[in-house]
Amino acid sequence: MTLPDRSALSRRDYLRTLVAIGGATALSACVSESDEIDVPAGTDDPDSLPERQHAWNDTLTRDDDGNVKPPEHHVLVPLSLVGEPTDERRAQLEDALRTLERAYEWSNDGLVFTIGYTPAYFDRFDEPLPESVALPNPEPLAAGEDPAFDEFDAVLHLASDHSQVVLEAEEGLFGDHDELNGIEIETDLSGVFDRLEDQRRTGFVGAGLPAEHTDLSGVPDSIPEDAPFFMGFRSGFADSQATEDRVTIEDGPFAGATTQHIESLDLQLRTWFEQDSQSMRVRKLFSPAHADDDRVGEVGENLSASNGLTDERIDATAADARTRGVVGHAQKAARARDDDGPPLLRRDFNTVDGDAPGVHFLALQRSIDDFVRTREAMTGADLDVMPANNGILSYIFVTRRGNYLLPPRSLRALPRANPQ
Ligand code: HEM
């Protein structure tokens, strides 16, 4: 494996590139670059961690407006089961995951992670999933898309502010690395899962990180310096996110679980930044009124804990399409809100996998139906507006989709379809 030319990249970009490459050589380059980072140790009592795997918000840091700050580095490791899910393999997987929890604090500075299982994994059991779990096979969700589907067994999502931590955790579980943050690894995942390296996905979130990729032909120089996401604006405001309670399955044997959808998207950033004005970008991403009232700022700095969408603006979506000839992405998607607010907890991140800009749009919701309903609202096939002005639809291209169940921690190791 060839490492990138260190002298051609900023330190942050070099570390990001090492995460994308993965493997032992990338890890050792990363360690020598990360001059003695002090990574906080985990807990001696993993049972003290929350029962929900997706309980990240209480431990993650917040920005000045109180919005959750996602970790900077992400790896999605697709997994294929080596044999049948036996109790011995369950114990081995649980041991290995507990080693991660002992090694790293459950935080941005340490490591947060989840393991999720596909419908294909659960198909091997005689009994179906209980009725309280809605986990259909992934399918195309919009006209014209032809995505590949995640049909392997499971995915491990590793996230940390330190590139060294995500790489080390992955190598500890699947490679030859024998120590995690000073803790000896007694159990890895060999004989339980194979890592599907050709489908490994990586990414990053953080102000200034997208603009470090203007060396790629798909990323224009005009991308704002401080943008945290490729399309140029802040995202993930507290008021437009579901709470962790809202996305949790409450009943049945998988109480405490959630479902996860991963939609991978390629982005047409040159057209986005070079064809449209800033004001048009605000109309298409937020709503026409956001642009009229200059509510957003260059990258969303004028917004705080809300994306500024009022009930009135959300209800005006169809009228905006007709009378203004343009509708906003957030405005459309917000039509899926109900009495409990937005149904999706979005934890998406930027990617340059394949040397092209994209997004791995990862969303948690109580049921995959909540995702489908929100995606339909976002697609806005019902709206009387030309495709180029229908939010961001003409700049995004879906390449993959996957549905997962993230069981509660106590059932995370190779769960049976019906644990009762
Ligand atoms: C490249 C892809 C995408 C980009 C750049 C993007 C960007 C944004 C931005 C900037 C906002 C407004 C800020 C906020 O509310 O946090 C937003 C809101 C939202 N987006 Fe996206 N998004 C993308 C894809 C998707 C997809 C695939 C979905 C799936 C349904 C989605 C669902 C939502 C929802 C539900 C909201 C909040 C609506 C509300 O306020 O209730 N987005 N997005």
Query: Region 121-145: what's the mean pLDDT?
Result: 96
Asked if residue 34 has pLDDT above 80, the reply is no
Nearest CA to ligand 1 atom 29: 375
Residues having CB within 6 Å of any atom of ligand 1: 229, 231, 233, 235-237, 240, 263, 265, 267, 285, 307, 309, 329-330, 333-334, 337, 342, 344, 359, 361, 374-375, 378, 396
Asked if residue 1 has pLDDT above 70, the reply is no
At 224-245, the pLDDT tens digits run 999 999 999 999 999 999 999 9
**What pLDDT score was predicted for residue 134?**
92
Distances 128 to 70, 115, 119, 133 between C-alpha atoms, Å = 34, 20, 10, 10
Asked if residue 37 has pLDDT above 90, the reply is no
Q: How far is the CA of 56 from the centre of ligand 1 (A)?
A: 20
**Residue (of 52, 404, 395, 56) closest to 241 by Cα position:** 56
Q: How far is the CA of 285 from the centre of ligand 1 (A)?
A: 8
Q: Please give the number of the atom of ligand 1 that sits closest to the Cα of 375.
A: 30
Asked if residue 181 has pLDDT above 70, the reply is yes
Asked if residue 6 has pLDDT above 90, the reply is no
What gap in Å lies between CA 231 and CA 156, rounded to an integer?
26
**What pLDDT score was predicted for residue 186?**
87
Asked if residue 58 has pLDDT above 90, the reply is yes
Query: Region 212-224: what's the mean pLDDT?
Result: 94
Query: Region 100-120: what's the mean pLDDT?
Result: 97
Average pLDDT, the chain: 95
Nearest CA to ligand 1 atom 41: 334
Q: 3-state DSSP call for residue 365?
A: strand
Nearest CA to ligand 1 atom 35: 333
Confidence of residue 35 (pLDDT cuts 50, 70, 90): low
Nearest CA to ligand 1 atom 24: 361
**Residue (of 50, 41, 186) closest to 111 by Cα position:** 41
In the block, tokens 């996305």 appear at 247
DSSP state of 201: E
Q: Please give the number of the atom of ligand 1 that sits closest to the Cα of 331.
A: 38
> According to DSSP H, which parts of 114-245 are helical?
119-122, 163-174
Name residue 48's amino acid. S
Task: Tell me the best of 307, 313, 317 to mutate to test the pocket of ligand 1, counting ligand atoms within 8 Å of each CB and taking the most.
Answer: 307
Distances 262 to 138, 216, 396, 404 between C-alpha atoms, Å = 10, 24, 15, 8
Q: How far is the CA of 331 from the centre of ligand 1 (A)?
A: 9
Nearest CA to ligand 1 atom 25: 361
